[in-house]
Structure 1
């Protein structure tokens, strides 16, 4: 109830009964067995004491009597006032009858329904247990409230579809229309999709583009940008990669082979840096633009390229020094591991930043922890030890090539 708002007698009674029902919901969430009641004090139920007209007070008391007759509550009357004119306390007798009288579906019923709906998915998505627990205590989860189980199940449908189409690029709106008969619904599910993928409700929600790329969801088919002394089997035709770079549809790339002696492979997160690098690329170096978080089709081509390189090849990645940049590096490191390589990071320590650089933002504690965990996983000690307190965009750093 808003401060200072005077309700009608019926509105005040429904507000009182709603507060009592909320106490019942909270008590059941804690599995409490004590009696549940609500004392109508000026502090806890000000709306009752603001009923200045005798008519409104009578109306409020009458509504409470109806709820009592239906078996949901018991009224304790103030013995100091005229007979049955002033309510002192309302006691809960039957929470389900009270909810029925108010015409609402109580939280415990919504949780039971959500538990049944989630049962099939708990093994693969254990985070749903945490969602239920938070709902049970009345908290919202990613703006979903008890009863909003459908958004989580819809998110699971998207994830499962994409994982069954691994390696494919899937148009976002076409998939959304085919699953939900609504071309834009999928884009509203990002917070739930991301939580399910990360299996962590405390993790910050990532940008939609990053989440979609991880699943292979695209707004339009991507163009793969590649620079190097290479030949690509593109469809049924072999095509040389000309200077400064070539743009190709990743799904049409069947194989890649190097044409000259190899120096190293460098993947680059941002487009500006990619263009600056390829304009001065030394012979033997391969530069590959990730386009942010790499999609499954991009990673397929990346692994084709890795398979062409010698076993002692130097593989580098250069990206932003922030959570997103290191999550991209984590994905690339997993690709390298599958093919038998170790990924090294290039220019991803804060010590490279000049003192006069304008800083966009500080790294949050959660983001720093995530970066350090990724570095620990892949033994990137220099990057872990050199992590500063701020996020650094790749474009803020000068162009530097890996040492050969």
Structure 2
């Protein structure tokens, strides 16, 4: 792309930006003769460039056109001259200086050093790292502190907390986690990989798995349940704090256990299908926190019935299924999909309305949704299906449930 400028300082800054990003490549810029507002502005720009050539910073290539001499292009010759002209520090020096404070911290693991080397390399080339712009060392420091606090939560199994409370308690800034979530999770995965359940999860899913959500949800379940042996009044579903959900027990045998990803579908299933309490239905709230997930698995063990999951047929929904499946499999329980299959996606799916991270082919392994996973991973149309588009139905062992689109509202 030909770069043309009417301002000498902007032209020089562009040459230095590209010099920092690309190194010793022959870099050229051009004067925009048609863009000047006046002859005086043109003369001033050309005079600055000629002065820089005399100082050895650039080389001007000129040609005669219509009887007048014009600069054909400007080539970078000596970056140090141009840095001095702009009063600008080289990006490599600025990157090293901005990261010196973090490098000097003794409270962080040794594994931070290679990560900082990577950040410094990118910032030295004026390239951002994990959505952090060059020089955002304070933001990077807060992200490191937030990641370390998340790792402590993973080891302690702490109670659910909202983003802002967690962020304020950790770094004194209630909005930091929302702004830095991508960098926080990238750092968490690098420094504390055991705290991340699956490296393919998105940032929000990792945070949810650690019990940090935008608004913590109670543990919601539908069925005949007791808490410490005490029965609940008759109601479509009950809610308890996640940290005491492990004390719930089925009051009688059930035909099935069904976890449901989204709130609307959970409420509808509880009211329309499970009014007789024949099933044990649990709301996952999207990607479940570890405390809630442990309680779900424990309830499924106590119920002793076939376990199903119903969620969105999209990358996030499939990742939730596989995560639940792995947790249940550790206790010897298989998980079966309900209203989640390729035929349903083909007949009722819609093209994704926004860009989403594609699923990696083969990553689901021997999951019960492995074939659907690989189909979606290779689907150029990007079909997806929100579970709210379907009416709820009772799952049956050996079947994925009755496929029926939801009635129009």
**CA separation in 2, counterparts of 1:228 and 1:278?**
8
**CA separation in 1, counterparts of 2:172 and 2:357?**
37
Whether contact under 8 Å (1:267, 1:288) holds in the other structure is yes
**CA separation in 1, counterparts of 2:355 and 2:27?**
43
Whether contact under 8 Å (2:260, 2:283) holds in the other structure is yes
Q: CA RMSD of the aligned region, Å?
A: 4.3
Task: Report the alpha carbon displacement of residue 289 of structure 1 after superposing the two structures with TM.
Answer: 0.8
Task: Report the alpha carbon displacement of residue 394 of structure 1 after superposing the two structures with TM.
Answer: 0.9
Distance 1:99 1:179, change over 3 A: farther
Whether contact under 8 Å (1:225, 1:288) holds in the other structure is yes
Q: Which of 166, 170, 186 in structure 2 is aligned with 1:175?
A: 166
Task: Report the alpha carbon displacement of residue 219 of structure 1 after superposing the two structures with TM.
Answer: 3.9
2:10 is the alignment partner of 1:19: no
Aligned partner of 2:82 in structure 1 is 98
Task: Report the alpha carbon displacement of residue 80 of structure 1 after superposing the two structures with TM.
Answer: 7.6
Distance 1:320 1:221, change over 3 A: closer
Q: Which runs of 5+ in 1 are unaligned?
A: 39-43
2:251 is the alignment partner of 1:250: no
Aligned partner of 2:404 in structure 1 is none
Whether contact under 8 Å (1:268, 1:274) holds in the other structure is yes
**CA separation in 1, counterparts of 2:117 and 2:184?**
16
TM-score, normalising length: structure 2: 0.72
Whether contact under 8 Å (2:123, 2:134) holds in the other structure is yes
Aligned partner of 1:223 in structure 2 is 218
Greater displacement, 50-59 / 181-190: 50-59
Aligned partner of 1:165 in structure 2 is 153
Task: Report the alpha carbon displacement of residue 216 of structure 1 after superposing the two structures with TM.
Answer: 1.6
**CA separation in 1, counterparts of 2:132 and 2:180?**
11
2:277 is the alignment partner of 1:292: no
Task: Report the alpha carbon displacement of residue 252 of structure 1 after superposing the two structures with TM.
Answer: 3.0
**CA separation in 2, counterparts of 1:262 and 1:130?**
54
- How is 1:180-329 mapped onto 2 (pairs within 5 angstroms)? 180-193=171-184, 195=186, 208=204, 210=205, 212-233=207-228, 238-240=230-232, 242-279=234-271, 280-281=273-274, 284-310=278-304, 313-329=305-321
**CA separation in 2, counterparts of 1:250 and 1:215?**
12
**CA separation in 1, counterparts of 2:165 and 2:277?**
42
SS of the residue aligned with 1:192? helix
Aligned partner of 2:32 in structure 1 is 47
SS of the residue aligned with 2:308? strand
**CA separation in 2, counterparts of 1:205 and 1:102?**
44
Q: Which runs of 5+ in 2 are unaligned?
A: 191-198, 398-409
Aligned partner of 1:380 in structure 2 is 369
**CA separation in 2, counterparts of 1:292 and 1:53?**
60
